[in-house]
Amino acid sequence: MRQNTTNGAPTPRALLPPFPDPGFVREAIKSDLQHVAAMRVAFIQQVKSLTASERAELLDAQMHMFREGMESGAILIWVYQVGGEIVGSTGLLFRESAEPATRAELMAVYTRRAYRHRGIATALVSAALAYAKGLGLDTVMLQPTNESFDLYRKLGFTGNYSEMILQLKL
C-alpha cells in the first residue's frame, strides 16, 4: 500500500494513476549505468545518511563496480523503462569463478519511489530469474530489506530477513 499524500492513509493500488506509457524490461547498456548507479545510491540513502561528498564518492564507486562487472560478465543488469526514463533496475551477480556458474546473487533491485507498487520490481526480478533458469543455474540468493521481503516470498524465495534463496532446480 502506498501512503496517501493528503491524509497519510494507505492508497489502494487501484487508485494510483496509470502510467502514460506501460514501460518494459530490457537488458541494460553502458549508457544506463549512471541511472542504475544513482538508483543504488538512492537505495543506500534510505538506510544511511550521506553527505554530498559521500554521495558523489559512492556514485563513482557504484559506476565503477557496474561498469567493470558488465565488462567482465560478472554482473548482468536489467532496467525498467517508462517512456525515455529508467525507473527501476535489478542485476545478477556471479561470484563463482567455476564455469559454468551454478548460482547468482540478485542485487540492485530498486524502483523509483513514484513508480512503486505497480509491478515493476516483480517484472524486473522475473526477467532476471528467467535468465538465470535459462543459464541452468541451481540457486539465486539475495539479501532482502524489510520492505521487499514479502515480494521475494511471493516469487518463491525462502529464508529470513538476512538471506533468502530460490532453488531453480530441485
Asked whether residue 15 is assigned to any structural domain, the reply reads no
- One-letter amino acid at 53 equals S
As for how many domains the chain has, the answer is: 1
CATH of the domain at 156: 3.40.630.30
Asked whether residue 109 is assigned to any structural domain, the reply reads yes
- DSSP single-letter state for residue 19: P
- Segment (H or E) for 149: helix 149-154
Grid coordinates belonging to 167: 532453488
Q: Express each pLDDT in 78-127 by its tens digit.
A: 999 998 999 999 999 998 666 777 899 999 999 999 999 999 999 999 99
Q: Express each pLDDT in 14-50 by its tens digit.
A: 555 565 568 999 999 999 999 999 999 999 998 889 9
Q: Distance (Å, rounded) from C-alpha 141 to C-alpha 162?
A: 11
Asked whether residue 10 is assigned to any structural domain, the reply reads no
Asked whether residue 36 is assigned to any structural domain, the reply reads yes
Asked whether residue 148 is assigned to any structural domain, the reply reads yes
Asked whether residue 60 is assigned to any structural domain, the reply reads yes
Give the global pTM. 0.84
- What is the pLDDT of the chain when averaged over all its residues? 88
Q: Express each pLDDT in 41-56 by its tens digit.
A: 999 998 889 999 999 9
Asked whether residue 71 is assigned to any structural domain, the reply reads yes
> Coil, strand, or helix at residue 140?
strand
Asked whether residue 3 is assigned to any structural domain, the reply reads no
